[in-house]
Amino acid sequence: MHKAITLLALVTLAACRTPEPPPMSHDARAKLNREALFAEIHPVKLSNCEFERIGDAHDGGYLICGNLLKSAQSIYSYGISGSDQWGCTLSARLKLPVHQYDCFNVDHPPCEGATPVFHPECVGPARTTDDGRLFDTVDAQIAKNGDAGKRLVMKMDVEGAEWPSFLATPDAVLQQIDQLSVEFHGVEEDGLAEVFRKLSATFHVVNVHYNNWTCETAVAPFKAKAFEVLFVNKKIAIVDPNATMLSPNPLDAPNNWMRPDCQS
Distances (CA, A) of 17 to 6, 7, 12, 23: 16, 15, 9, 18
Express each pLDDT in 110-148 by its tens digit. Answer: 999 999 999 999 999 999 999 999 999 999 999 999 999
As a whole number of angstroms, the distance between CA 171 and CA 150 comes to 14
As a whole number of angstroms, the distance between CA 213 and CA 59 comes to 9
For 71, half-sphere exposure in the C-beta direction (CA atoms, 13 angstrom radius) is: 15
Express each pLDDT in 207-255 by its tens digit. Answer: 999 999 999 999 999 999 999 999 999 999 999 999 888 889 999 999 9
Burial of 26 per CB tally in 10 Å (0-12, 13-18, 19+): exposed
Q: How many CB atoms lie within 10 A of CB 99?
A: 25
Q: What is the pLDDT of residue 34?
A: 98
For 90, half-sphere exposure in the C-beta direction (CA atoms, 13 angstrom radius) is: 34
Q: Are the CB atoms for 154 and 112 separated by under 8 Å?
A: no
Query: In the predicted model, is pLDDT for residue 4 greater than 70?
Result: no
As a whole number of angstroms, the distance between CA 58 and CA 55 comes to 8
How many residues are there in the chain? 264
As a whole number of angstroms, the distance between CA 87 and CA 100 comes to 8
Torsion angle defined by CA atoms of residues 155, 198, 31 and 255, in that order, rounded to the nearest 10 degrees:
-10
Domain residue spans in the chain? 43-233
Q: Are the CB atoms for 59 and 83 separated by under 8 Å?
A: no
Q: How far apart are the first and last CA of the chain?
A: 71
Q: What is the pLDDT of residue 15?
A: 56
Q: What is the pLDDT of residue 5?
A: 45
For the entire predicted model, the pTM comes to 0.91
Q: Write the DSSP symbol of residue 25.
A: P
Model confidence at 59, pLDDT cuts 50, 70, 90, reads: very high
Q: What is the pLDDT of residue 189?
A: 97
**Structurally, what CATH architecture does the domain formed by 43-233 represent?**
3-Layer(aba) Sandwich (3.40)
As a whole number of angstroms, the distance between CA 149 and CA 17 comes to 56
| Relative orientation angle of helices 192-200 and 26-39, to the nearest 10 degrees | 10
Secondary element (H or E) of residue 51: strand 51-55
Secondary element (H or E) of residue 199: helix 192-200
Express each pLDDT in 13-38 by its tens digit. Answer: 455 566 676 688 999 999 999 999 99
As a whole number of angstroms, the distance between CA 239 and CA 203 comes to 11
